[in-house]
């Protein structure tokens, strides 16, 4: 009968020690995990770089838009500057003298231009004065739009009789326009006619 040798402590230690194959597998596994981690880390870095570039492009585009918008503000002046230009243009126009032989058409265009600028400036006082001293004595009839401002200016400055006369002229002109506009615009025009007809009767 064959007797088995009792394992010594050295044999037990050798049995517990991992083999070269096991060590190799562990190393490969470790290297694989490390490689995967590195790839994931690199992908994360690339993602961060892409996001950063997009943010930079957006920032540059926003800055360019703001600069262009600022330039537009320089091209188109503020309302007060526009009114100053209108006032300067009006002063130049008032200094011009119509020729003595100017036709009624030339006179009408001249005063239409003056009244349109006074309307933009909302200057009722000078509008009323120019109407009383220049437009009315020459028997000049202005457009519907200009005449509406004349009525407002004359009433604001106490010229009720003159305002009544211009309101009457407005009713005639508006009735004439009623025949020229499409049906869908006639309702609002009819209301305007009624307004000035009532105003003429109450002044």
**pLDDT at residue 71, rounded to an integer:** 45
**pLDDT at residue 42, rounded to an integer:** 63
CA–CA dist 111, 24 (Å, integer): 104
Mean pLDDT, each 10-residue run in order, the chain (203 residues): 53 51 50 53 64 67 54 50 86 89 95 96 97 96 97 97 97 94 90 94 91
Q: Which helix (H) or strand (E) holds 131?
A: none
**pLDDT at residue 41, rounded to an integer:** 56
**pLDDT at residue 121, rounded to an integer:** 94
**pLDDT at residue 54, rounded to an integer:** 66
- Please state the three-class secondary structure of the chain as a single string: CCCCCCCCHHHHHHHHCCCHHHHHHHHHHHHHHHHHHHHHHHHHHHHHHHHHHHHHHHHHHHHHHHHHHHHHHHHCCCHHHHHHHHHHHHHHHHHCCCCCCCCHHHHHHHHHHHHHHHHHHCCHHHHHHHHHHHHCCCCCCCCHHHHHHHHHHHHHCCCHHHHHHHHHHHHHHHHHHHCCCCHHHHHHHHHHHHHHHHHHHHC
Note the pLDDT tens digit of each residue in 105-119: 999 999 999 999 999
Return the domain boundaries, the chain.
11-76, 79-202
**pLDDT at residue 83, rounded to an integer:** 84
Note the pLDDT tens digit of each residue in 138-169: 999 999 999 999 999 999 999 999 999 999 99
**pLDDT at residue 76, rounded to an integer:** 47
Q: Which helix (H) or strand (E) holds 19?
A: none
């Amino acid at each position: 009968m064959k007797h088995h040798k009792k394992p010594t402590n050295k044999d037990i230690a050798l049995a517990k020690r991992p083999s070269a194959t096991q060590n190799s597998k562990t190393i490969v596994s470790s290297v694989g995990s490390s490689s995967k981690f590195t790839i994931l880390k690199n992908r994360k870095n690339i993602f961060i770089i892409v996001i950063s570039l997009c943010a930079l492009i957006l920032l540059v585009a926003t800055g360019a838009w703001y600069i262009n918008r600022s330039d537009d503000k320089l091209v188109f002046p503020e309302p007060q500057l526009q009114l100053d230009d209108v006032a300067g243009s009006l002063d130049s126009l008032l200094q011009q003298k119509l020729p003595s032989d100017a036709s009624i058409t030339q006179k009408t265009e001249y005063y239409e231009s003056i009244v349109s600028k006074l309307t933009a400036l909302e200057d009722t006082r000078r509008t009323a004065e120019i109407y009383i001293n220049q437009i009315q004595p020459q028997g000049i009839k202005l457009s519907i739009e200009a005449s509406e401002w004349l009525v407002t200016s004359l009433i604001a400055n106490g010229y009720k009789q003159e305002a009544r006369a211009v309101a009457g002229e407005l009713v005639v002109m508006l009735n004439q326009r009623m025949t020229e506009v499409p049906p869908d615009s006639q309702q609002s025009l009819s209301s305007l006619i009624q307004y000035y007809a009532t105003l003429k009767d109450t002044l």
